[in-house]
Amino acid sequence: MAFAAENVPARRVAKSRFVVTGAAGFIGSTVVDHLVALGAEVIGVDDFDPWYDPARKRANLAAATQNSRFALVEADAADVIGDVLEAGDVVIHLAGRPGVQDSWGLGFAGYARRNIELTQRVFEEALGVGASRVVYASSSSIYGASSDGELRAPAPISPYGVSKLAGEQLAGVYAERGLDIVSLRYFTVYGPRQRPDMAMHRMFEATTPNDTVFVRRGDGLQRREFTYVGDVAEATILAAVAHGAGGRVLDIGGGESASLLEVMAAIEHLAGPMRTETVPLPAGDPLITSADLAPTVASLGWMPTTPLLDGLRSQAAWHRARRVYRSVADAV
């Protein structure tokens, strides 16, 4: 995987020790690879939650685990974060329970534990040990239907969005006690290693010769600001070390909006016909998301550099490589 890290101060990164929670996930493993490539010492914490296949997560860390600058702690971060952290560490807190639709009903208990209780635990231990900064992974879901235009204010319309906003509010509480925290609101991240529940992953898999069907929710006209995972990793690392970022809450978006129908057409162009079916638009799904990158540019000097079609090409190549690997494994 190529690293878009030309904006990152490599010497400053290499001097720091990073603790990354959720290190084996889609975004977490990409951040880990970037950090290791920049010369940093990285401690990754992940419990390989079976919410989706742990084998996928282990594959995400295949390269990092071969590097002497990376160490993996396989445990629930809530149980070990106090033992792992040292004074002066930079914490990138990516662990949590993602996804809007599973957060309804009884599913919210898992979101409360992994997105709220765990976040409070990380902040508490980081404050106690004297961590230099915590980067907290928030979400565009905190905006609900209000991220576009002048109505930009936290107003979540899903339990998942509520859980991520609670993390931001906890950040404010711990900032009052002296903890340096940067909260990043990620907008619809895509690219290699994308989780199997996410739309683009399901779209690509629905173009393969199997029985997978992409279930489109609604008419497909809903628009998203799609953000390439390599750009997200770069922004996250910059937020961890940028002098002017402390205490900020920043949108991390791709700078490019597209409808679901437009993305489906692009993926069919890259990968072939897609099997689809349509269901009604569910609760908690906003019609438009749009990032405000002006404060992010001012604080981090960062802008996304990966056009949507280029990012989709990278994800398509990753899906093809996974299929080849599975075919070879099945033949052995």
The three-state DSSP-derived secondary structure of 54-92 is HHHHHHHCCCHHHCCCEEEEECCHHHHHHHHCCCCCEEE
pLDDT at 330: 45
Please tell me the number of Cα atoms within 13 Å of 6 on its side-chain side. 6
Q: Just list the catalytic residues.
A: 160
pLDDT at 322: 87
Q: Degrees (nearest 5) of the Cα angle 150, 151, 157?
A: 155
pLDDT at 10: 81
171-189 b/e (C-beta count within 10 Å ≥ 16 → b): beebbeeebbbbbbbbbbb
Separation of alpha carbons 92 and 32, rounded Å: 10
Q: Supply φ then ψ for residue 252, to 5 degrees.
A: -120, 100
Residue 244 forms part of a structural domain: yes
Amino acid present at 181: I
Classify residue 125 by burial, with Cβ atoms within 10 Å: 0-12, 13-18, 19+: buried
pLDDT at 211: 86
pLDDT at 196: 95
Residue 164 forms part of a structural domain: yes
Separation of alpha carbons 321 and 327, rounded Å: 10
pLDDT at 3: 41
Separation of alpha carbons 277 and 261, rounded Å: 13
Residue 193 forms part of a structural domain: no
pLDDT at 150: 66
Residue 321 forms part of a structural domain: no
pLDDT at 175: 98
User: What is the β-pairing status of strands 223-225 and 257-259?
Assistant: antiparallel
pLDDT at 188: 97
Tell which residue, 243, 238, 128, has the closest CA to residue 184.
238
The answer to whether 318 touches 193, Cβ cutoff 8 Å, is yes
The answer to whether 231 touches 27, Cβ cutoff 8 Å, is no
Residue 163: CATH number of its domain: 3.40.50.720
pTM exceeding 0.75: yes
Residue 217 forms part of a structural domain: no
The answer to whether 255 touches 150, Cβ cutoff 8 Å, is no
Q: Which strand (E) or helix (H) includes residue 312? A: helix 308-331
Tell which residue, 83, 80, 77, has the closest CA to residue 97.
77
Residue 234 forms part of a structural domain: yes
Residue 267 forms part of a structural domain: no
Q: How many domains does the chain have?
A: 1
The SS3 assignment for 43 reads strand
pLDDT at 328: 42
Residues of the chain with confidence (pLDDT) below 70: 1-7, 148-151, 324-332
pLDDT at 6: 54
pLDDT tens digits, residue range 135-155?
Answer: 999 999 999 987 766 668 899
Separation of alpha carbons 209 and 326, rounded Å: 13
pLDDT at 258: 97
Q: Degrees (nearest 5) of the Cα angle 72, 76, 78?
A: 120
Residue 161 forms part of a structural domain: yes
pLDDT at 4: 42
What residues make up the domain containing 128? Answer: 10-187+229-253+286-305
Sheet with 249-252: strands ordered across:
70-74, 41-46, 17-21, 90-93, 133-139, 181-186, 249-252
pLDDT at 178: 97
